[in-house]
Amino acid sequence: MTQTVDKPSKAINEAVGKPIDRVDGRLKVTGAAQYSAEIPVENPAYAVTIGSKIARGQITSIDTREAEKSPGVLGILTHLNLPKLHPMPTFTGNGSAAENRLPLQDETIHHSGQHIAVVIADTLERAKYAASLIGVDYTAETPLTEMEKERDRSFGKGYFGKPPEVIRGNPTEGLAKAEVRIEETYTTPTEHHNPMEPHATTAVWEGDRLTVYDATQFNFGVQQALASVLGIPAENVRVVCQFIGGAFGGKGMVWPHVPLAAIAARQVKRPVKLVLTREQMFTSVGHRAETEQQVILGATRDGHLTAIVHKGISHTSAFDDFVEPFTIATHIMYACPNLQAEQRLVRLNKGTPTFMRAPGETPGMYALESALDELAYAVKLDPIELRLRNHADTDPDTNLPWSSKSLKESYRLGAEKFGWSRRNPEPGSMRDGRYLIGMGMASATYPTLRMPAAAKARILQDGTALVQSASHEMGTGTATIMTQIAADALGIPVEKVRFELGDTKLPRAPVSGGSMTAASVGTAVKGATQAVRAKVLELVRTDTRSPLHNIPETDLATAEGRIFAKSDPGKGETYEAVLKRHNLQEVEESFNAQVSQEKKFSSHAFGAQFAEVRVDPDFGEVRVTRFTGAYGVGRVLNLKTARSQMIGGIVMGIGMALLEETITDTLTGRIINPNLAEYHVPVSADIPAIEAYFVEENDPHVNPIGAKGVGEIGITGVAAAVANAIYHATGKRIRDLPITPDKLL
């Protein structure tokens, strides 16, 4: 399914960059890796949540009497008996709660599936049965379910520090001067994350101390939220999450079931496991918001942009202001003096949306890159050439220079590997027998982000190393790349390094989101391992018994677990020998990696996406037959895991283009396809050979390890590349995702 990524080979003793196997791979394939619902606890109880059957209204009565008499039932929580909870700060309030509303605090219903009760029993089956016995009466109101019908009630909302509307230059004047104008509307539907592992929480109380095993991308965020909502000190809350079975952003914030599990465990005085069903994954833990985006491009006849207008609406819940920032990439993508970017929200009776792989950039780049493709045909330019003519040599939004940028090289490399030169530019001109063949491309981008992080490193007497940070392993290879970074900094083999993560008892790490884990935690790991190495080097320099006594630190090097003189490599000794001679079981150092607030450069990863499709002209069936991506992402820390990240993003983007759509009954507000049978995600038969290439990019400014992050850029631009290929194949421009056969017939 994949092909080798172009990348120069590394020095033989350098681990970073090499495609080494995942250090946790054996644990996962043997079943030894334990996920949050699998953590063994003594005498567990099981909690089941009940969701509202209406989308808007009030609970008038809730009858739990029969359920309470059911065998094995230990307790039932509703708004009638749940204690008053303390507020949980949300993301916009520098917190980690996903919703600005506490669970089970009143009788008001805001969306279908909203938690209205929790049943706790001694077995899962008994909890489910008892839940079925609870009777609920409602006073229902007509739910607001259609974004288009509520557009008159839309309101502006800022995002990520930007106001709701940004104007650069004079867009009106720029459009008036345009010789060619594209003005179209593009829509993307509600989409759900659907990780293999559902959200799950195991809560255990020991006196006034709480341990929570939670499926989360943010251990310390869960700790903060639980301490806040329960009104207890943060140090009394321990959160553990060593493995995550997929997240894609959906597990980045704290959802209501997490505190409900903790409250249930306190109520029944025994550990409680709460695992959401697949159906509840559609109603209880966020989604990508629906968007309607208008893009207006003005250009000269030779393709130079005179104005970009990108505006539209997305939906949020009745009680939150979550913005899907689809204009965010438009600010920086192309050199254009005149820009208008505007975001507005519409309140609906749906759950609160949340971050989903490359939030903002993914739907936004679909609209922008589709419009660029339409402009390319209007001015009769190759789509790559149009983008090159509007290449932004500096950040148009801040006027800062790029820390590095390899977009032009990505276009070149991607086009070469894909065979773009074989493309006949005329729509509908390429065939394979009876099938229509199309080629499309789009740009990709994602910002380089970083947050403070800490790590601790120990060199042990047996010559091995232990490195710790409370980061997360979501299947992306975090533990592996941290091991590689540590091995290189210490000069010891990878197999002699152990990296521990996933526990708030370890040094603090930020949320694993925004493609920033490598840059944030990796910088801390490098700092800690360099510090502990320096400590050992100082031991040997000041030790008269050492063959390296009094040798300047600048002349000392480490490799294969050995410290030696660069000027005389035969003179040296091992870490093991040093610690044994000093009778030390270990040497330890910690490091806190801070982030400078001074911005001298703008840092983004860039890339190019190329798709080939085969369209059945009689049935409208679309198959992606080839896909190639080329990217400049700074230093690639592990070739194998980085390539896997790109493939994962591309697969998800193909799903967005052709398959994925959450459908809501407009009358009742209920989701009608809350399962993997009717919510279609790509399977192996839907995915072609995928090639992922990296442009060599050395960025000395972006962060101390030179990595820009690869978690999210892989999906950006994919849907547009597929849509553009479909237009090239058929001559039909479909602007509403997903592109299903009925839209092509």
Rg (CA), the chain: 27
Token pair belonging to 653: 């983007």
**How many CA atoms are closer than 13 Å to the CA of 40, on its beta-carbon side?**
2
Task: Tokens 């990019």: give the residue.
Answer: 697
Asked if 452 and 484 touch (Cβ cutoff 8 Å), the reply is: no
> What kind and span of H or E run contains 414?
helix 407-418
Q: What single-letter DSSP state applies at residue 165?
A: E
Token pair belonging to 415: 């086009």
Among residues 660, 667, 105, 737, which one has the least CA distance to residue 349?
A: 667
Asked if 75 and 241 touch (Cβ cutoff 8 Å), the reply is: no
| Residue tagged active-site, from 292, 324, 589, 712 | 712
Asked if 102 and 88 touch (Cβ cutoff 8 Å), the reply is: yes
* Beta pairing, strands 2-3 & 689-694: parallel
Going edge to edge, which strands form the sheet with 237-240?
A: 73-78, 115-121, 45-51, 272-275, 200-206, 209-214, 237-240
Q: What is the phi/psi pair of residue 58, to 5°?
A: -135, 145
Can you say whether residue 8 is alpha, beta or left, with left for phi > 0 and alpha for psi between -120 and 50 degrees? beta
Residue 557 CB coordination number (10 Å): 15
Give the separation between CA 451 and CA 523, rounded to whole angstroms: 10
Task: Tokens 């099938």: give the residue.
Answer: 435
Asked if 317 and 145 touch (Cβ cutoff 8 Å), the reply is: no
314, β-bridge pairs = 291, 345
Give the separation between CA 700 and CA 119, rounded to whole angstroms: 55
Give the separation between CA 530 and CA 75, rounded to whole angstroms: 53
User: By CB neighbour count within 10 A (0-12 exposed, 13-18 middle, 19+ buried), where does 686 fall?
Assistant: middle
- Is 712 among the catalytic positions? yes
Asked if 519 and 709 touch (Cβ cutoff 8 Å), the reply is: yes
Asked if 375 and 303 touch (Cβ cutoff 8 Å), the reply is: yes
Residues with catalytic function: 712
